[in-house]
Copies of this chain bind each other. A is one copy, B any other.
C-alpha cells in the first residue's frame, strides 16, 4: 500500500526555517516541503540561500519537492506537519496558530521552533490546545541531532508520540521535556557552564581561548560519548554515581560554593562590566568564525560516535 508523502509546511523562512526545510528534504526522499513567509522576494531568497544547507545530496532532486506560499491557508491546507519559526514574540505566535488550525487538516502536527515561548502561551487562542507542541532544535537543525519536544499541560500524548516517531524515523534525537521551564533544558545546561566560564575568565584564572581549548579537550568529547550522569556514574566504579558522590562529593560541593562566590564577586549578570573584557578577548581570538568548517567537523564527530 502506498502512503502519501509527508507534507511539511514551513512557516517563516529565516535561517532556522531553511535549515529545517533542508533537513526534511535531504532526510526523507519523498517528503514535500512548502515554505510560507510574507517577504516579497521569498522564492528568490530561498533559491539563493537554501543550497548551502543541502549537503551531500542531489540538490535539484531536492528542490523539485519544494514549493512556496504567500498565504497561510495555501501553505497549510494539505500539510501533515506545520512547523513554525516566525518572529520570536508571543503575540505573533498566539495570532497565527488559530489561523493555522482553521485551515490545516485535522490530523496535522503543529510544531513551534521557539527557544522560549511555551506551547501553553502560544496556544491561548486555539480551539484544540492539545495539538501544539514545541520542537526546539539545537542550531543548526540540519546538522545537530537534538530536538527538545517540550509539551504543555494540554499537549496530548498522541501528538508527543507521533512527534517522537517522526524524528526517530529521520535518525534524529528527539527528547521529551516534561515541564515548560525557562529556557528548556539544553540552553539551561549550556548557559550554566557558560556563566562559570565567564566567571573564571573574569577572575583571571584562564583566558577565553584557553578555556575553549580546555572544553574541547575534555568535556566536549566525553559528553559526546556519555552524558554527565553516565560519565560520573562510570567515575564511581562499581558503586556508580552514589559511590562517586561519596568519594568526590566534598570536592563537588567546594566547587559549587567557589562558583557562587566568584559569580557574586565578578557580578556575572548580563550587561554588567565583566562582559566587555570577555567579548574583547573573544573577538580578538576568533574574528569572524567559519560556520561551514564547524559544521563539517561536527558531522565527522557525529558520524564517529554513531559507528
Interface-lining segment among A18-26, A61-69, A152-160, A242-250: A242-250
Interface-lining segment among A40-48, A104-112, A284-292: A284-292
- Option from B213, B250, B303 in Cβ contact (under 8 Å) with A227: B213
Instruction: Answer yes or no: A210 CB below 8 A from chain B CBs.
Output: yes
Instruction: Answer yes or no: A120 CB below 8 A from chain B CBs.
Output: no
Instruction: Answer yes or no: A1 CB below 8 A from chain B CBs.
Output: no
Residue of B nearest to A296 (CB): B225
Residues of chain B with a CB closer than 8 A to A182's CB: 254-255, 257-258
Q: Which of A239-296 contact B (CB under 8 A)?
A: 240-242, 245, 249-259, 262, 268-271, 275, 278-279, 281-283, 285-289, 291, 294
Q: Which of A193-223 contact B (CB under 8 A)?
A: 193-197, 200, 203-223
Q: Mark A94-107, 1 if CB is under 8 A from B, else 0.
A: 00000000000000
Instruction: Answer yes or no: A170 CB below 8 A from chain B CBs.
Output: no
Residues of chain B with a CB closer than 8 A to A196's CB: 188-189, 192-193
Contact A228 B185 (CB under 8 A): no
Contact A205 B177 (CB under 8 A): yes
Contact A229 B212 (CB under 8 A): yes
Residue of B nearest to A196 (CB): B192
Instruction: Answer yes or no: A179 CB below 8 A from chain B CBs.
Output: yes
Residue of B nearest to A193 (CB): B193
Residues of chain B with a CB closer than 8 A to A194's CB: 228, 232, 252
Contact A282 B224 (CB under 8 A): no
> How extensive is the interface on chain A, given as a class?
35 or more
Number of copies of this chain in the oligomer? 2
Knowing A192-B196, A225-B301 are in contact, say whether A255-B183 is a contact too (CB < 8 A).
Answer: yes
- Option from B217, B229, B241 in Cβ contact (under 8 Å) with A175: B217
Instruction: Answer yes or no: A57 CB below 8 A from chain B CBs.
Output: no
Contact B189 A222 (CB under 8 A): no
Q: How far is the CA of A252 from the CA of B188 in the complex (A)?
A: 8
Contact B185 A200 (CB under 8 A): yes
Interface-lining segment among A5-13, A27-35, A78-86, A141-149: A141-149
Q: Which of A115-157 contact B (CB under 8 A)?
A: 115-116, 138-139, 144-146, 148
Residue contacts A-B, CB under 8 angstroms, 17 given: A146-B218, A173-B213, A173-B216, A178-B205, A182-B258, A185-B214, A188-B259, A189-B215, A192-B195, A216-B227, A222-B298, A224-B224, A240-B283, A240-B288, A249-B271, A256-B268, A256-B270
State the A residues within 8 Å of B (CB).
Answer: 115-116, 138-139, 144-146, 148, 173, 175-179, 181-183, 185-197, 200, 203-230, 232-235, 238, 240-242, 245, 249-259, 262, 268-271, 275, 278-279, 281-283, 285-289, 291, 294, 297-298, 300-305, 307
- Which 10 A-B pairs rank lowest in CB-CB distance, beginning with the nearest? A212-B227, A220-B224, A220-B223, A192-B196, A146-B217, A182-B258, A304-B304, A173-B217, A183-B255, A253-B270
